[in-house]
Amino acid sequence: MPGFSMDAAAEQRFNVNLSILFTELPLLERPAAAAAAGFTAVELWWPWVDSPTPERAELDALKKAIEDAGVQLTGLNFYAGQLPGPDRGALSIPGEESARFRANIDVAADFAQSLGCKALNALYGNRVEGVDPAVQDELALENLVLAARAADRIGAVLLIETLNKPESPLYPLVTAAAGVAVVDRVNEATGRGNAKFLMDLYHLSMNGEDLPSVIDQYAARTGHVQIADNPGRGAPGTGSLPLEELLGRLRKQGYEGWVGLEYKPGDRPSAEAFEWLPAEARAAR
């Protein structure tokens, strides 16, 4: 598998998403597995897909596993329903799901703060049949404002992510422009400026976007980057995306934040899915 050059890899700060890699292991074993693979930073989707407000003992156990592994939590999703699965977020869905998102806001923010995590990701939510999209968008803005204020309280950014239409046909944010427009609306409503774009190069490529143009236009508005190759959502080098070149372009445009590894390991243990990345480049500097 083609890999990143040491020089190119050394320019980036990589973390591992423990909700898509190392999932062959129980949740509490994944931080240590990432550390054993040479990484010092991790991120997570909300781990409790059925509960926005898990028992304190569950939160404490995960916190201890992360601390014992000696890794830094650099990103955390708010509650987003069944992810992975048919759901793609909760905050714009009227009724119970929106209420569950609101109940999760301070729980997630407090957990992130306890581990020094400075980025919280809020997935928008699918369109609901029979509900006016404008009603969903109004609800989404209300909830994103609450989330942005909670993130600001702990000194964190609020991330707004675009997904891709082939895999998430009911998700309304499937272009970079749409995601950034929501970022702007949230910042205008709060006046705090802590909402940022989450640039997922895999999702944007699946939507057929011109990735160099997206980078040039939105790098300065970007608070986090995630990568997987396309096709297949595998490790860099398993598809055709020029990820080394694209990340280099991001650096030239001034992006110095985290690059989350959010790809599928394939038919092998996750620990074997990092041969593209020199071992010396896995520890954050």
| Active-site residue list | 161, 262
Strand partners, 20: none
Q: By CB neighbour count within 10 A (0-12 exposed, 13-18 middle, 19+ buried), where does 131 fall? A: middle
Structure tokens at 164: 């891709």
Cβ atoms of 49 and 90 closer than 8 Å: no
Residues 6+ apart with CB under 8 A from 149: 190, 192
**DSSP H or E run through 243:** helix 243-252
Provide the 3-class DSSP secondary structure of residue 120: strand
Q: Is the dihedral of CA 53, 68, 38, 159 positive or negative?
A: positive
Q: How far is CA 21 from CA 96, 157, 198, in A?
A: 30, 24, 19
Residues 6+ apart with CB under 8 A from 51: none
Structure tokens at 22: 């190392």
